[in-house]
Chain A
């Protein structure tokens, strides 16, 4: 059984990443938020880009990686309030029947998580070839919002359009959703692709992402967590922080660092190198979000 505090010490000693995100607003949440909802310490786990169904040299152990990650999350001594998967749950296929099979298999595997409050959004591998039809059948809406302990969480879909557009209809929904929030509300956005132009020559962008960022900009406490690029990355657009997560299938090179965005070579001596998930801890005492990176498995 992993003690979270002990693990945090281990990662720090071992050079693991403990990234402190500057969400200085959380202390304000303690004074009360929205309709009287009180802020309370909590943490959630973000997993991303599991690509269930992938077969290839970049991860010969692909059939086991997701299952190991589920076991590791289940071994956390203190379980998270909720778990979020930020897209590319499955690896793409042209066959609609196979797509549904992979999505259902993925759902079956993650049903083993002890925490039952699990949130999903699609990635382009899940949704772009059928505009999200199979995903919606199995997981429901591709965009939505929810509230948890005084934080407003927004799930954005920038993949059901193969051109990586959020689209006018969803942007109108976003405007209406944000319109219900106070300007100092604590807002966390989950999405798959980066909302900003991280590496356009690798298609690491959202075509109309600037519109979403413009809508979020008047809100003083916004943080974005996303996937897609299979590595940890931190970026600011004004006061909005954007944090990408590692994948659970294969790591990709640093943005724009080489001609093609081909997976980093498999290392048989370190089969989980570059893979992992993260927990995000909202702590009122430090008034910050702590992002703590975890490997696929331990021991």
Chain B
């Protein structure tokens, strides 16, 4: 094994080791986060979100899991800079950790028909 080959081999081995370490930490971190997250399941269908009022605590980790039944609805919380498309046939997940107390309106922001304007709700964050 000449010096150049040995250096390349050692570098590759080191990279693999570091990559494995990072992967383990990400997985461990995700697992830890998952344990701490409160899961709220929300159903979107024309023209409502159910539930349409979410009560959260400031600083808590929340995972919103959306199921859309009939349309690619949108979920948007303008004041929290949070939005997602909600295609039917899959669960759409958003992670949220509110850092301020207050009431934050959310809307469907994909025009979905005659009752689109009624497809709204709010997130209430308390201490």
Write the residues of chain A forming the contact surface with B, with a CB cutoff of 8 angstroms: 91-94, 124, 128-129, 159, 162-164, 200-203, 207, 259-262
Task: Please name the 5 residue pairs, one residue from A and one from B, whose CB atoms are nearest each other, closest first.
Answer: A200-B78, A128-B111, A124-B111, A162-B111, A162-B110
How many chain B residues touch A (CB < 8 A): the figure is 17
- Binary interface encoding of chain B residues 71-105 relative to chain A, with 1 for a CB under 8 A from any of its CBs, else 0: 01010101100000100000000000000000001
Query: What chain A residues lie within 8 Å of B79 (beta carbons)?
Result: 201
With contact pairs A201-B105, A202-B107, A203-B107 given, residues A94 and B113 touching in the complex (Cβ less than 8 Å): yes
Q: A124-B111, A129-B113, A162-B72 are in contact. List 4 more A-B contacts (CB 8 A).
A: A91-B114, A200-B76, A202-B117, A203-B107
Tell me whether A260 and B74 are in contact (CB under 8 A). no
Write the residues of chain B forming the contact surface with A, with a CB cutoff of 8 angstroms: 72, 74, 76, 78-79, 85, 105, 107, 109-114, 117-118, 120
Tell me whether A93 and B114 are in contact (CB under 8 A). yes
What is the CB-to-nearest-CB distance from B20 to chain A, in angstroms, rounded to a whole number? 39
Q: How far is A159 from B116 in the complex, measured between Cα atoms in Å? A: 14
Q: How far is A93 from B112 in the complex, measured between Cα atoms in Å? A: 10
Query: What chain B residues lie within 8 Å of A91 (beta carbons)?
Result: 114
Query: What chain A residues lie within 8 Å of B105 (beta carbons)?
Result: 201, 259
With contact pairs A164-B111, A202-B107 given, residues A260 and B120 touching in the complex (Cβ less than 8 Å): yes
Tell me whether B117 and A261 are in contact (CB under 8 A). yes
